[in-house]
Amino acid sequence: MVEALLAIFLLWQLSSNPAMLIMLLFGGLNIYFALRKQERRKFQLILGSVIVIICLVNSPATWLMLVFAVLFLGLKGFELAGISMPSHSLKKRKSIVMVDSTEPISHNGERKRQGWIGNERIGTQVFEWDDINISILAGDTLVDLGNTLLPKEDSIVIVRKGFGRTRILVPYGVGLVLEHATLYGKVDFDDEQYMLRNESLKVYSEDYDGSQRRLKIITNTLVGDIEVIRV
């Protein structure tokens, strides 16, 4: 959204500067005609590209777009891609982590504020298990259950959203049942793929009946894919 607003700001700056706008159109036409010709003229293509670049770098909006892009990639890019930065310290790789136990916490009456729009990732760190209930208008959701211990009973994950992709990472040895309803989207579950168009689906894993730990996943989306991945 920030990049889109800055792009509008860039168009406004160019429109308010007739000379810059004419140069930008001239450079764009050179690129266009150079690409349209069967024998592409490198000089015309390079000239048009240089003119367009000069026009863009003279606008503060272009630099702001680059700054926000770098900030986004630095703060959120690795997290959304699921890439962990490697540790260059051997001490960290071989260190012993002492875990302090705490008294059980009552979750009665607990409230958690949820955003309307945005990507969300649950399970980046070790956390105490509690049934998950997520409601969001739009955005990608990643639920990683590899950093928690599911109890020896039925557990529930509920995800309701309008638009976006949902991925749920589940450890091996946990029986799964998925109930999904959507207007349009794809489902990946235990190496099987289903394409749904205004349909609902209920599927079980092969080890569901014999598993001590079982997880029930209930998802509802308008448009979006869902993946249940074993880790």
Residue pLDDT, tens place only, 153-207? 888 899 999 888 999 998 888 889 999 999 999 999 988 899 999 999 999 988 8
pLDDT of residue 89: 46
Tell me the domain boundaries of the chain: 2-81, 116-230
pLDDT of residue 194: 92
Residues of the chain with pLDDT under 50: 87-92
pLDDT of residue 187: 93
pLDDT of residue 218: 92
Full 3-state SS string of the chain: CHHHHHHHHHHHHHHCCHHHHHHHHHHHHHHHHHHHCCCCCHHHHHHHHHHHHHHHHCCHHHHHHHHHHHHHHHHHHHHHHCCCCCCCCHHHHHCCCCCCCCCCCCCCCCCCCCCCECCEEECCCCCCCCCEEEEEEECCEEEEHHHCCCCCCEEEEEEEEEECCEEEEECCCEEEEEEEEEEEEEEEECCEEEEEEEEEEEEECCCCCCCCEEEEEEEEEEECCEEEEEC
Query: Is the pTM for the entire model greater than 0.85?
Result: no
